[in-house]
Amino acid sequence: AVKHCELLAPGSQHKLRCGNPTRTCLEKAVAVLDGAKYSLAYASGLAATLNITHLLKAGDTIICMDDVYGGTNRYFQQIAVKMGLKVIFVDCTKLKCLEAAITPETKLVWIETPTNPTLKVIDIQGCADLVHKHKDILLAVDNSFMSACFQRPLSLGADICMYSATKYMNGHSDVVMGLVSVNRDDLYERLKFLQGSLGAIPSPFDCYLCNRGLKTLQLRMNQHFHNALAVGRFLESNPRVEKVVYPGLPSHPQHELVKRQCTGCPGMLSFYIKGNLKHATIFLKSIKVFTLAESLGGYESLAELPAVMTHASVPKEDREALGISDTLIRLSIGLEDEEDLLEDLDQALKAAVSWL
């Protein structure tokens, strides 16, 4: 990894917006992890999304995976369109649908894989091959769920790899940050200009904290994977659970694709509890080791109800079409003892679905 960091050329750090030694260390370390030439740090994941979108101009079209983080959906639908950009949502797990959506105005294809919260998996290499048949279209991959430990989108043909580093890359639930990695010199120069010009940069202390988090990334991700597999197997065998969605389980419809393009799976798991909204609510009120919260990717285990929390801003008809029902519960499985997690889920399920 990066053992030391050289200062930038004299005068290049004349303003905090333009750079500081701690941010430079972080950006160099992330570039190494991503197998990239360059990485840039931002004040949040959405700040990174904003900067990427500013590569475009009014009249351009963005194709976005239809099942994405609610904040990304809200930004594209309610803000980007007001800046003269056209945004269309497509199921990019089906390459024929993506191909049919591309027009001469398409300049950016935005995917996240696995998706949030239904954990669909997208063929990054397949998307890249398709997108790059057309001139001047960028493929951006939100890699927040997998982290650089388990997935390297740039090596699979993506032009841009971005993160909400708030999640696994930092991993300690004490930083809000975004990261973007690229290999192309021209993309880096444009993004570097936007980083300084738009000003959505992280503080040196946040960069210090994220650098600290990277030092345990592999250890943390391996434990998240171990615990999530145990939870997934437990839930699959539980009569109070309708369905489990976890890319690391053979039951996931794209499990073979996961094995090809990833080296492991994160602690993100979703499941459908039997019953209705009432039963999902009782479950979330009954958990003790898990905490009811929207974020993810930290050392602690969290649970949430996407339909009324992270994805409440997505129109109801769109949520239902994507499978984000009132009984879909998303877990961010942390680093606690496996048995403690299973016992907590067991007692909460028994409290919520008491008729079985």
pLDDT tens-digit readout, 304-343 = 999 999 888 888 888 989 999 999 999 999 999 999 999 9
Active-site residue, selected from the candidate residues 28, 167, 240, 319: 167
Distance from C-alpha of 27 to C-alpha of 59, rounded to nearest angstrom = 32
CB distance 138 to 109 below 8 Å: yes
Distance from C-alpha of 305 to C-alpha of 116, rounded to nearest angstrom = 12
Q: Does 16-214 match 217-352 in CATH topology? A: no
Burial class (CB in 10 A: 0-12, 13-18, 19+), 172: middle
Q: Pick the residue with more confidence: 310 or 37?
A: 37
| Domain map (residue ranges) of the chain | 16-214, 217-352
Q: What is the pLDDT of residues 175-224, one digit of tens each?
A: 999 999 999 999 999 999 999 999 999 999 999 999 999 999 999 999 99
* 281-315 b/e (C-beta count within 10 Å ≥ 16 → b): bbbbebbebbbeeebbbbbbbbbbbbbeebbeebe
At residue 12, does pLDDT exceed 70? no
- The DSSP code for 101 is H
Q: How far is CA 28 from CA 111, 155, 176, 216, in A?
A: 24, 17, 19, 17
Active-site residue, selected from the candidate residues 69, 163, 188, 272: 69
Active-site residue, selected from the candidate residues 34, 60, 123, 142: 142
Give the pLDDT of residue 7.
45
Q: What is the pLDDT of residues 247-302, one digit of tens each?
A: 999 999 999 999 999 999 999 999 999 999 999 999 999 999 999 999 999 999 99
Distance from C-alpha of 236 to C-alpha of 242, rounded to nearest angstrom = 8
- Give catalytic status of residue 69 as yes or no: yes
- The DSSP code for 172 is S
Give the pLDDT of residue 1.
43
Q: What is the CATH number of domain 217-352?
A: 3.90.1150.10
Q: What is the CATH number of domain 16-214?
A: 3.40.640.10
Distance from C-alpha of 61 to C-alpha of 109, rounded to nearest angstrom = 9
- Give catalytic status of residue 15 as yes or no: no
Q: What is the pLDDT of residues 231-262, one digit of tens each?
A: 999 999 999 999 999 999 999 999 999 999 99
Give the pLDDT of residue 14.
57
- The DSSP code for 294 is S
At residue 6, does pLDDT exceed 50? no
Q: Which residue has the tokens 């099942």?
A: 67
Angle between helices 338-352 and 217-236 (to 10 degrees): 40
At residue 8, does pLDDT exceed 60? no
Give the pLDDT of residue 80.
98
- Give catalytic status of residue 142 as yes or no: yes
Query: What is the number of alpha carbons within 13 Å of residue 58 lying toward its C-beta?
Result: 3
Angle between helices 45-53 and 185-198 (to 10 degrees): 120
Q: What is the pLDDT of residues 40-99, one digit of tens each?
A: 999 999 999 999 999 999 999 999 999 898 899 999 999 999 999 999 999 999 999 999
Phi-psi label, residue 173: left if phi above 0, alpha if psi -120 to 50, beta otherwise: left
- What is the SS3 assignment for 79? coil
- Give catalytic status of residue 17 as yes or no: yes
